[in-house]
Amino acid sequence: MIPLNKLERIPPGQRRRKIALLLASMERVLAGDSPVEGFAPEYLIAVAALAARDPKAEPAAFTAEDLDLLGRPAGDGRGLDREGLRRLANHARHSLLSATGLLPAEWDLILPRAGAVVGVERPFFPGVEVFAEDIRSPFNVGSIFRTAEAFGAERVYVSPGCAPPDHPRSIRSAMGCVGFLPWERRTLDDLPADAEVFALETGGTPIDEFDFPERGIVILGSEELGISPEGLARATRGRVTVPMRGLKASINVGVAFGILMHAWTSYLDCSDSNPR
């Protein structure tokens, strides 16, 4: 850890970067689920106080709880809890990112680690599968995995043109789900021949009227081009659409997939033929 008196002496721009890195490292510790050993809450509070005193820091980033921690005398550890310290570190770090005039990028976000629970069987709906066709953004691929796992999909297939599920940004946005949700790279032609396949695409049956299969594969299309003509031809079960009212009438593929999975699995929850 960098001594506080050294942090106070370095030039402002360099100090902001150093403090942001320090706070990020402490936030990662607090975001985990392992015991916090050798961690000094007083040091975190002192570093956060340096951030709060920066003339370019955003005061609105700090909550009343943060200000209570920052206003305590050194060594006063009464009522300190892990979540409160983590929030203080997060708010102080983002106040410095705001000071640079830049919005935080995806890699500036510190997310709790989410690994598979050892010894616990993952529940899923047998036969509920997803085919991601040419999803180019690793963030979107990870989001699809996270949603698929959360709603109980059995497996994800990714086309050869998809961003890799094991890309660092995919793994990050999937919150660990890539590691324990089965997935394979396949072409449309390699999908199970007897599978009931349907497409999530515009111009189809409204989602509240669609006849979902008990077991099947939903195709998700690329962010720019949607589902390919070959994919639409393969979707013999039909095409399902999320109705929209706005001027843009368009949402992110991961958001649309979440809406679809809620509808599909709600139908399955009401069915006795496909229990989890």
**How far, CA to CA in Å, does 57 sit from each of 91, 98, 189, 214?**
10, 7, 55, 54
**What pLDDT is attached to residue 111?**
62
Predicted confidence (pLDDT) per residue in 165-179, tens digit: 999 889 888 888 888
**What pLDDT is attached to residue 126?**
95
The CATH number that applies at residue 160 is 3.40.1280.10
Judge whether 182 lies within some domain. Answer: yes
Q: The tokens 């709060």 sit on which residue?
A: 52
- Regarding whether 33 and 76 lie in a shared domain, the answer is yes
Is the predicted pLDDT of residue 41 greater than 70, yes or no?
yes
Judge whether 161 lies within some domain. Answer: yes
- Regarding whether 18 and 97 lie in a shared domain, the answer is yes
Cα separation, 151 vs 252, in Å, equals 18
- Regarding whether 142 and 253 lie in a shared domain, the answer is yes
Q: Which of 81-85, 213-217, 272-276 has the lowest mean pLDDT?
A: 272-276
Cα separation, 68 vs 75, in Å, equals 14
Judge whether 115 lies within some domain. Answer: no
- Regarding whether 250 and 170 lie in a shared domain, the answer is yes
- Regarding whether 171 and 90 lie in a shared domain, the answer is no
Q: Which of 99-108, 143-152, 198-207 has the lowest mean pLDDT?
A: 99-108
Is the predicted pLDDT of residue 120 greater than 70, yes or no?
no
Integer Rg of the chain from CA: 23
Judge whether 174 lies within some domain. Answer: yes
**What pLDDT is attached to residue 113?**
55
**What pLDDT is attached to residue 33?**
66
| Residue 137 · residue 165 · CB < 8 Å | no
- Regarding whether 132 and 210 lie in a shared domain, the answer is yes
Judge whether 112 lies within some domain. Answer: no
| Coil, helix or strand at residue 141 | helix
Judge whether 214 lies within some domain. Answer: yes
- Regarding whether 150 and 235 lie in a shared domain, the answer is yes
Is the predicted pLDDT of residue 197 greater than 90, yes or no?
yes
**What pLDDT is attached to residue 180?**
85
**What pLDDT is attached to residue 250?**
82
Look up the pTM and report it.
Answer: 0.71
- Regarding whether 154 and 81 lie in a shared domain, the answer is no
Q: Characterise 20 by phi-psi region: left (phi > 0), alpha (psi -120 to 50), beta (else).
A: alpha
- Regarding whether 261 and 132 lie in a shared domain, the answer is yes
Predicted confidence (pLDDT) per residue in 67-87, tens digit: 888 888 766 667 678 888 989
Give the chain's domain count.
2
For residues 42-56, give the mean pLDDT: 90
- Regarding whether 135 and 93 lie in a shared domain, the answer is no
Cα separation, 16 vs 18, in Å, equals 6
Domain end (from 103, 119, 144): 103
- Per the structure, the complete domain to which residue 79 belongs is given by 4-103
- Regarding whether 147 and 38 lie in a shared domain, the answer is no
> DSSP characters for 163-204?
PPTTSHHHHHHHTTGGGTS-EEE--GGGS-TT--EEEEEEEE
Cα separation, 255 vs 120, in Å, equals 28
Predicted confidence (pLDDT) per residue in 84-107, tens digit: 898 999 899 888 877 776 666 555
Domain end (from 87, 103, 119): 103
- Regarding whether 199 and 154 lie in a shared domain, the answer is yes
Helix/strand/coil percentages in the chain, nearest 5:
45, 10, 45
